[in-house]
Amino acid sequence: MRKLYINGHFLQQQLAGVQRYAREVIKGFDRGGYPYQIVEPTGFFASNRLGRNLWQQVVLPTKINSEHTLWSPANNGPVYSNNHVITLHDIAVFPHPEWFSASYAIWKRTLIPRIARRATGILTVSEFSKSIICKHLDIAPQKIKVVYNGVDSDRFTHAVPSAVKHVRSKYNLQSPYVLTLGSLDPRKNFKRTVEAWRLCKEQDKLPNFDLVIAGGSNANFRNLDLDLSDESIKVLGYVDDEDLPALYSGAEAFVLPSLFEGFGLPIVEAMACGTPVITSNTTALDEIAGDAAVKVDPSDTTSISEGILELLNAPALKDRLKVLGTQRAREFSWDKSAKEIYDYLVEG
């Protein structure tokens, strides 16, 4: 059997969706007793982005025996490496370069096709993402393996009241709230979400509710122009990972009408916490949510507003989606994902 080496470049990055995926799958390897070795940059190569990328392209390939497999789990990897498998979560920079900084778009659109062509295999996280990779990178479908993400059901579950109370106090959330979460980048559609929220408030339909936006900024994306003048809109910034289950659990609803998602892990996490979800009827979000969410047109502010009002003003719908969402979340398991990924990596 081949040995599995893992590209540890992601260990030096802030924890977001891609990095969470890598860490959770590796935890699944540990629980399953699947052997592997992480190779990561050290010293100068670990000290900054340029050093880490130089290490990844020049040093990392020399560390791996050509008989074994190198897996890069976080959207990036070496161009020249034998038996290399990369996970491409999404390649939004190809259909939508305008969402990204010019330097990032040029770098990714130059590097990713070369990595993908030379890789022995590609993992991705949804059928939607697979279709985008095939279309924009001209990759044969049989080269791509789809393995859905999972959710940590031990962590992401309905939080106890004391935990919810603590998080509400920590972030000064005094009113009932609708939560949205993600990196502050254009594809998350925060601008239309905020506009939709203002429509709701202008109609005096949600007088006592707040919209809570959680998520850190990302230098790879263009700046957002958000109107945050309404005092009912609360921006938390980057939220500590351990606070997320209680933050989800305390919300009256979770809304994520993204314009583009390769999977959409937050909607599954919210469902696992028993929080009803409003999300897009497009991209991977439609695929992953199934029938367990209110679906809206992410390009239509009115549709998003109507989806929020429909859910919050219908107690029976909220209760039904809590049940359906919890059931849907159980279909996504990191242990199941880890086994499928490991089998693919070491057996081909």
pLDDT at 224: 55
Q: What is the mean pLDDT of residues 148-164?
A: 95
Distance CA 253, CA 245 (A): 13
Distance CA 134, CA 144 (A): 8
Percent of the chain scoring above 90 in pLDDT: 77
Distance CA 186, CA 99 (A): 6
Whether 64 contacts 77, CB under 8 Å = no
Q: What is the chain's mean pLDDT, rounded? A: 92
Distance CA 138, CA 131 (A): 10
In three-state form (DSSP H/G/I as H, E/B as E, the rest C), the secondary structure along 116-130 is: HHHCCEEEECCHHHH
**Positive/negative CA dihedral, 11, 285, 95, 211:** negative
Which residue, among 266, 320, 305, has the nearest Cα to 289 in the 3D structure? 266
Which pLDDT band, with edges at 50, 70 and 90, does 218 fall under?
low
pLDDT at 203: 79
Minimum mean pLDDT among 25-34, 132-141, 182-191, 317-326: which range? 182-191
pLDDT at 45: 82
113 pLDDT higher than 60: yes
Which two tokens mark 221?
A: 């994306």
Which pLDDT band, with edges at 50, 70 and 90, does 222 fall under?
very low
48 pLDDT higher than 50: yes
Which pLDDT band, with edges at 50, 70 and 90, does 12 fall under?
confident
Which of 38-42, 239-243, 260-264 shows the highest mean pLDDT?
A: 260-264
Span 253-278, pLDDT tens digits? 999 999 999 999 999 999 999 999 99
343 pLDDT higher than 90: yes
Which residue, among 306, 256, 307, has the nearest Cα to 286 in the 3D structure? 256
Which pLDDT band, with edges at 50, 70 and 90, does 49 fall under?
confident
pLDDT at 254: 98
Span 174-189, pLDDT tens digits? 999 999 998 878 889 9
Strand partners, 280: 296
pLDDT at 175: 95
Residue 109 vs residues 21, 54, 117: alpha-carbon distances, Å:
23, 18, 13
Helix, coil or strand: residue 2: coil
